[in-house]
Amino acid sequence: MKIGIVLYPTFGGSGVVATELGKALAKKGHEIHFITYSLPVRLDRLRENIYFHEVSVSDYPLFEHTPYEQVLTSKLVDVVKYEKLDLLHCHYAIPHASVAYMAQQILQTQGIVIPFITTLHGTDITLVGKDPSFEPVITFSINRSTKVTAVSESLRRDTFRHFDITREIDVIPNFICSLDYQLDNDDKYKCRYAPNGELLITHVSNFRKVKRVADVLAVFKGLLDKGVKARLMLVGDGPERNKLERQCREWGVCSEVVFLGSLKSTTEVLTISDLFILPSETESFGLAALEALASGVPVIASNTGGIPEVVEHGVSGYLSNVGDVDDMIANASKILESKESLKKFKLAAKKQAMKFDKSVVLPLYERLYEEAVAEA
Ligand code: GMT
pLDDT in tens, 329-348: 999 999 999 999 999 999 99
Whether 9 is in the pocket of ligand 1, judged by its Cβ within 6 Å, is no
Whether 210 is in the pocket of ligand 1, judged by its Cβ within 6 Å, is yes
DSSP for 241-309 reads HHHHHHHHHHHT-GGGEEEEE--S--HHHHHT-SEEEE--S--SS-HHHHHHHHTT--EEEES-TTHHH
Instruction: Tell me the average pLDDT across 197-211.
Output: 96
Whether pLDDT at 191 is above 80: yes
Whether 17 is in the pocket of ligand 1, judged by its Cβ within 6 Å, is yes
Whether 147 is in the pocket of ligand 1, judged by its Cβ within 6 Å, is no
Instruction: Note the pLDDT of residue 168.
Output: 97
Instruction: Tell me the average pLDDT across 40-59.
Output: 89
Whether 283 is in the pocket of ligand 1, judged by its Cβ within 6 Å, is yes
Whether pLDDT at 358 is above 70: yes
As to burial, measured by CB atoms within 10 angstroms (0-12 exposed, 13-18 middle, 19+ buried), residue 322 is: middle
Instruction: Note the pLDDT of residue 60.
Output: 75
Whether 18 is in the pocket of ligand 1, judged by its Cβ within 6 Å, is no
Whether 154 is in the pocket of ligand 1, judged by its Cβ within 6 Å, is no
| C-beta separation of 332 from 275 below 8 A | yes
Whether pLDDT at 90 is above 90: yes
Q: How far apart are alpha carbons 186 and 184 in whole angstroms?
A: 6
User: Which residues lie closer than 8 Å to 344 by C-beta, 6 or more apart?
Assistant: none
Task: Return the SS3 of 148.
Answer: strand
| C-beta separation of 345 from 316 below 8 A | yes
Same fold yes or no, 2-175+358-375 and 178-354: yes
| C-beta separation of 115 from 334 below 8 A | no
Ligand 1 pocket test, pick from 172, 205, 287 with the greatest ligand atom count within 8 Å of Cβ, gives 287
Residue nearest to atom 21 of ligand 1 (CA): 283
Give long-range contacts, CB 8 A cutoff, 24+ apart: 301-307. 301/277, 302/212, 302/278, 304/280, 305/122, 305/126, 305/152, 305/154, 305/155, 305/158, 305/280, 306/122, 306/151, 306/152, 306/153, 306/154, 306/155, 307/278, 307/280, 307/283
Hey, where are the domains in the chain?
A: 2-175+358-375, 178-354
Instruction: Note the pLDDT of residue 189.
Output: 81
**How many angstroms does the Cα of residue 285 sit away from the middle of ligand 1?**
7
Confidence class for position 309, pLDDT limits 50, 70, 90: very high
Instruction: Note the pLDDT of residue 35.
Output: 98
| C-beta separation of 97 from 73 below 8 A | no
148: Cα within 13 Å, side-chain hemisphere: 28
Ligand 1 pocket test, pick from 21, 149, 283, 309 with the greatest ligand atom count within 8 Å of Cβ, gives 283
Instruction: Tell me the average pLDDT across 95-115.
Output: 98
End-to-end CA distance of the chain: 15
Q: Which amino acid is at 102?
A: M
Residue 185: count other Cβ atoms within 10 Å of its Cβ. 11
Q: Which CATH class is domain 178-354?
A: alpha beta
pTM of the model: 0.94
More confident position, 13 or 182: 13
User: Which residues lie closer than 8 Å to 216 by C-beta, 6 or more apart?
Assistant: 203, 232, 234, 277, 279
| C-beta separation of 300 from 318 below 8 A | yes
Identify the architecture of domain 2-175+358-375 in CATH: 3-Layer(aba) Sandwich (3.40)
**How many angstroms does the Cα of residue 286 sit away from the middle of ligand 1?**
7
Whether 92 is in the pocket of ligand 1, judged by its Cβ within 6 Å, is yes
Instruction: Tell me the average pLDDT across 75-103.
Output: 97
Instruction: Note the pLDDT of residue 11.
Output: 79
Whether pLDDT at 117 is above 90: yes
Average pLDDT score over the chain: 95
Nearest ligand 1 atom to the CA of 307 is 18
Whether pLDDT at 265 is above 90: no
Whether pLDDT at 264 is above 90: no
Whether 206 is in the pocket of ligand 1, judged by its Cβ within 6 Å, is yes
Instruction: Tell me the average pLDDT across 49-54.
Output: 96
Helix axes 339-354, 287-294, angle to 10 degrees: 120
Instruction: Tell me the average pLDDT across 13-38.
Output: 96
Confidence class for position 129, pLDDT limits 50, 70, 90: low
77: Cα within 13 Å, side-chain hemisphere: 18
Residue nearest to atom 14 of ligand 1 (CA): 121
3-state secondary structure 41-105: CCCCCCCCCEEEEECCCCCCCCCCCCCHHHHHHHHHHHHHHHHCCCEEEEECCCCHHHHHHHHHH
- Which residue, among 104, 102, 69, 99, has the nearest Cα to 85 in the 3D structure? 104
User: Which of 50-59, 176-185, 313-322 reaches the highest mean pLDDT?
Assistant: 313-322
**How many angstroms does the Cα of residue 284 sit away from the middle of ligand 1?**
6
The angle subtended at Cα 131 by Cα 130 and Cα 135, nearest 5°, is 75
* Of 75-84, 101-110, 260-269, minimum mean pLDDT range: 260-269
Whether pLDDT at 116 is above 70: yes
Whether pLDDT at 169 is above 70: yes
Q: How far apart are alpha carbons 276 and 251 in whole angstroms?
A: 21
